[in-house]
Amino acid sequence: MSSIFADAIKNLDLAAKYADVDEEELERLRHTKATLEVGIPLRRDNGSLEIFKGYRVQHDSTRGPTKGGIRYHPQVCVDEVKALAFWMTFKCAVVGLPYGGAKGGIIVDPKSLSRMELERLSRGFMGQMADFIGPDTDIPAPDVYTNARIMGWMMDEYSKIKRQYTPAVITGKPLPLGGSAGREDATGRGVYYSIKELTAKKAWDPKTLTVALQGFGNVAQHAAALLQRDGYRIVALSDSQGGIYRPEGLDIPSIVKAKNETRRVKAIYCEGSVCEVVDAKTISNEELLELDVDILIPAALENVITADNAPRIRAKTIAEGANGPISFDADQILHERGTLVIPDILANAGGVTVSYFEWVQNKAGYYWQAEEVHQRLQTIIAREFDHVYEIMQHHQCSMRTAAYVHGINRLSSAYRAQGTHRYYASLDE
């Protein structure tokens, strides 16, 4: 059976030849630090009891406390959570945040739970994790099918257990519970900033560029809205039920409104409160990925582009909103065919960056305005995009390999500061 984690760590070997790294440092990165597996008893509204399995994996904490989201999805498995934790270590290293990587998840379809069941399950998970995580050890955040409200419940539960108000234990909280301005749209905004950086480097005109997005959740909705505002033409998008395609372009604010009201993506155009349905083709998620567009943004789940469909991908640029949407083999095929991929560990790092800002604000007890958050985020994404782009040009490698080189260099310098074989065998100063 294929392993997402085994696939993810293959990138280490690919990047190692360009990085300043020793074998023992790479070996550390090939392993996760700790895994917690829990059974969470949930009393259902009808009085029955059900046990849900949950995980929290910490990958590496050399550069700081571990950080990473919590996912609620029926397909969560420990191998996937390990891969997601590994990507978090790299994401934090690539954008220079003082964190290591972690991730968590519960095997559950949250749509099958009532609101009160969802709250009890979330509080139950925090109850089981409370001694494994903490504001200076491991800090969760939202991910697929979790949101600010769930983060708020979890923070409240942790604070009750520790008998101390502890907002810095979790990020992505609602604003009145210690959340940060600008966290809600941060990941989509980061995707947008990285596409803007590329557009500037290539001297493209946004008005000539078409964009398709897979998924229409937190990441995709915000990325699409910001891109459209800058003149990019959003021609396709989808959710778990399927997608819509309109070569003339789709109006994102209208579709967000429809999605919030009906939970479905619909091709509509609204002026004020008056909405009309516009002509659009219904397409499957698979067809969406293969559209002839300038920029494709997979923003749903991992492994949606594999060796099977990679030869049919026609987009010239892919910005990974999701974590790990392209398998290792597919990545090699795309690189050989000249597709430029802005990798997840850079493109979607906006979320964890603003989570870091939230944590800093919680610790300081002093809160910033949205403008300041946006500005600081843009500065970081633009700076690190530049570093990665330079490494890519220098080594003539893929942008993903370049991002791993950048991350490995930061991680290996932290390992070296602690002392590695080089030091103990007196090979170094």
In 3D, which of 265, 304, 261, 305 has the Cα closest to residue 282?
A: 265
Question: What binding mask, one character per residue, do residues 338-367 give for ligand NAD by CB under 6 A, x or -?
Answer: ----------x--x----------------
CA distance 78 to 88: 15
322 binds ligand NAD (CB under 6 A): yes
Which listed range, 21-29, 93-101, 211-219, 382-390, lies at the site for ligand NAD (CB under 6 A)?
211-219
Using the rule CB under 6 A, is 180 a contact of ligand NAD?
Answer: no
Site for ligand NAD contains 323 (CB under 6 A): yes
- Exposure string (b/e) for 87-103, b if CB count within 10 Å is 16 or more? bbbbbbbbbbbebbbbb
Locate 219 and state its tokens. Answer: 């990441």
- Catalytic residue check, 67: no
Q: How far is the CB of 51 from ligand NAD (least distance, A)?
A: 24
List 32, 187, 199, 317, residue binding ligand NAD (CB under 6 A): 187
Q: Is 145 in the site for ligand NAD (CB under 6 A)?
A: yes
Shortest reach from residue 172's CB to ligand NAD, in Å: 7
- Residue 218 contacts ligand NAD per CB under 6 A: yes
182 touching ligand NAD, by CB under 6 A: no
The reply to whether 88 sits near ligand NAD by the rule CB under 6 A is no
- Of 15 and 283, the one with the shorter C-beta distance to ligand NAD is 283
Instruction: Please answer whether residues 324 and 348 qualify as being in contact, where contact means their C-beta atoms are separated by less than 8 angstroms.
Output: no
- What is the footprint of ligand NAD within residues 225-254 (CB under 6 A)? 238-240
Report the site for ligand NAD in 391-420 (rule: CB under 6 A).
Answer: none
Instruction: Report whether 67 contacts 88 (CB < 8 A).
Output: yes
Sequence-ordered alpha helix ranges (H) in 275-398: 285-289, 328-336, 344-347, 350-364, 370-395
Strand, helix or coil for residue 68:
strand
Which entry of 103, 202, 207, 257 is annotated as an active-site residue? 103
Least separation, in Å, of the C-beta of 377 and ligand NAD? Answer: 12
Cα→Cα distances 116→150, 154, 192, 328, Å: 11, 14, 35, 40
Q: Under 8 Å CB-to-CB from 384, ≥6 apart: which residues?
A: 94, 95, 96, 346, 349, 406
Closest to 325 (Cα-Cα) out of 420, 313, 337, 336: 313
Element (H, E) at 86: helix 78-94
Q: How many residues sit close enough to ligand NAD to count as binding (CB under 6 A)?
A: 23
Cα 273 to Cα 427: distance, rounded to the nearest angstrom = 71
Q: Which is nearer to ligand NAD, 209 or 352 (CB)?
A: 352
319 vs 408, beta carbon nearer ligand NAD: 319
The number of beta carbons lying within 10 Å of the beta carbon of residue 288 is: 24
185 near ligand NAD, judged by CB under 6 A: no
Sequence-separated (6 or more) residues with CB below 8 Å from residue 379: none
Is residue 380 near ligand NAD by the rule CB under 6 A?
Answer: no
Q: How far is the CB of 354 from ligand NAD (least distance, A)?
A: 8
d(CA 284, CA 334): 21
DSSP3 helix / strand / coil % (the chain, rounded to 5): 50, 20, 35
124, 135, 142, 206: which one binds ligand NAD (CB under 6 A): 142
- Nearest distance in Å: CB 24, ligand NAD: 30
**Integer Cα distance of 359 and 159 in angstroms:** 15
Question: What stretches of 100-159 adopt beta strand conformation (E)?
Answer: 100-107, 138-142
The answer to whether residue 104 forms part of the interface with ligand NAD (CB under 6 A) is: no
Q: Nearest approach, Cβ of 222 to ligand NAD (angstroms)?
A: 9
Among all residues, whose Cβ is closest to ligand NAD? 217
Closest separation in Å from C-beta 147 to ligand NAD = 7
Q: Is 321 in the site for ligand NAD (CB under 6 A)?
A: yes
Residues 259-318 that bind ligand NAD (CB under 6 A): 285, 299-301
- Residues acting as catalytic residues: 103
Residues that bind ligand NAD (CB under 6 A): 142-145, 187, 214-219, 238-240, 285, 299-301, 321-323, 348, 351
